[in-house]
Structure 1
Amino acid sequence: MTRSGSGIDGHDDKVRLRTWLRERREALEPADRAAQSRDLARQVLEHVGSTILPTGEGGRSTIAAYLGVAPEPDTIALLTALAPDHDIVVPICEPRYQLSWAAWTPGTPLERSVRAPVGEPGGRRFAFTELTGVRLILVPALGIDQDGQRVGQGGGYYDRFLADHPHDAPNAVPRLGIVYRSELLPAGRVPARPYDQPLHGAFTADGLRLFGARATPV
């Protein structure tokens, strides 16, 4: 598949790529998914420990993350390890494919979303602009190419969220994807539309690969 700028061909290419990525993810052995999830958590924790200093209210920074649902990489152990030192918020699927954010701590009761197959915390919901001290956004994806373009589940929630917060805006918060090793794709693999906002980088079990101006040397 090749990159298409817009139109039906580009849309169809992305649908086919999404289907292929889902099939590959589902074919991963559970033990492999678990092992990669542990290594992914270690990579994220090392990055956070070396780059993020407390800046928010009470000396704590905020990390916008998500609760992975199998066969996605498991993020619960990661967020549990981050929670003592950082405020964790996770997304809530709102009408018109918008995201709000709610606080998460280990043991937070979850309710199944009425709009997506995910669990969501109850309690107060925040617009992203209401959050303070956000130093990192962890983004789910089925695949990410080395231009930073991502393939999501197709709901459009993160596409809209990322478009509202351009990657090249002044003081843009780093947005880093989380994928299995085989889901980090060559540059140009993901069809991109003019309004698609790339990620700054992606974590795999092998480490963090940065893209564009922040690119990790190969």
Structure 2
Amino acid sequence: MTAIDKTDKEAVRTRFRQQRAALDAQARRAAAAGLADVVLSALPSLGIEPGSTVAAYLSVGSEPSTALLLPGMVRAGYEVIVPVCEPHYQLSWARWYEGVPLARSPRAWVDEPVGERFDRSIMAGVPLILAPGLAIDHAGNRLGQGGGYYDRFLGALARQEKRPRTVGVVYRHELVPVGTFESTPLDIPLDGAVTDEAWTWFDAGNSSRTAQTV
């Protein structure tokens, strides 16, 4: 088997996509239930009380499923917003609730709520963003699907004086050592990662950004 060059991001993406595709339905259901439990049990301890708005995503395909997490947050009293793909690889945001009408995005392979759109300024009142990714390394670097929407959004968000904590959602095996995939100084590291098992926070005060799992 030919070794994969870790600097070839598309080859690394293919590897992680194949690993996701190999997960059976039972493993995905268990991960979805675990993710909902881990996130919901931690929100109050993170200072995020019911009534707060949390930014998340509508999962698709083999992504870590938010099918239980999103309704769980709404039932617990949280407002939920999810991304909408706009022209020029920008993101806006729309409210999600159980039964919200959905339409297929004309720009990506995701469903999006039909209704009012909010620009990035809504993030001033959002304490937490749960972002999708294919993998996250222990310095907080995120490997995305390659569309560039979140890269641009996180880059713009980093320039705001007040911004939410950014946390990537991945499967356990997708939280990987530094160097597993290429990153550049232009990439915006996440503050943390969450799996169906635990939260991991990256130490922004350390130049090497060590990870701490809780």
TM-score by length of 1: 0.87
Within the candidate set 173, 187, 190, 2:178 is matched to: 187
User: How many residues matched?
Assistant: 205
Unaligned runs of 5+ in 1: 4-9
Kept in 1: contact 2:32–2:66 (CA 8 A):
yes
Unaligned runs of 5+ in 2: 206-210
Post-superposition CA distance 1:46-90 (Å, at most 9, x none): 121322344xxxx82111110011211110211101113111110
- Which residue identity is paired with 2:34? D
How does 1:105-120 map onto structure 2 within 5 Å?
105-120=97-112
TM-score by length of 2: 0.89
- Which residue identity is paired with 2:94? A
Going from structure 1 to structure 2, the CA distance change for 1:53 and 1:27 (only over 3 Å counts) comes to closer
Give the 4+ runs in structure 1 shifted more than 2 A. 130-133, 169-172, 212-215
What percent identity do the matched residue pairs reach? 45
Check if 1:216 corresponds to 2:209. no
Within the candidate set 40, 55, 74, 1:64 is matched to: 55
Kept in 2: contact 1:147–1:188 (CA 8 A):
no
Going from structure 1 to structure 2, the CA distance change for 1:138 and 1:206 (only over 3 Å counts) comes to same
Within the candidate set 88, 94, 98, 1:96 is matched to: 88
How does 1:59-208 map onto structure 2 within 5 Å?
60-84=51-75, 85-131=77-123, 133-166=125-158, 170-208=161-199
Whose relative contact order is higher, 1 or 2, with alpha carbons under 8 Å and at least 6 apart?
Answer: 1
In the alignment, the residues of structure 1 paired with residue 31 and residue 80 of structure 2 have an alpha-carbon distance, to the nearest angstrom, of 22
Secondary structure of residue in 1 paired with 2:152: helix
Offset of 1:217 from its aligned partner? Answer: 5.7
Going from structure 1 to structure 2, the CA distance change for 1:182 and 1:129 (only over 3 Å counts) comes to same
Residue of structure 1 equivalent to 2:208: none
Offset of 1:131 from its aligned partner? Answer: 4.7
Going from structure 1 to structure 2, the CA distance change for 1:42 and 1:166 (only over 3 Å counts) comes to same
In the alignment, the residues of structure 2 paired with residue 130 and residue 136 of structure 1 have an alpha-carbon distance, to the nearest angstrom, of 12
In the alignment, the residues of structure 2 paired with residue 68 and residue 50 of structure 1 have an alpha-carbon distance, to the nearest angstrom, of 25
If each structure's helix is expressed as a fraction of its own residues, which one has the higher value?
Answer: 1
In the alignment, the residues of structure 2 paired with residue 172 and residue 41 of structure 1 have an alpha-carbon distance, to the nearest angstrom, of 24
Kept in 1: contact 2:138–2:178 (CA 8 A):
yes
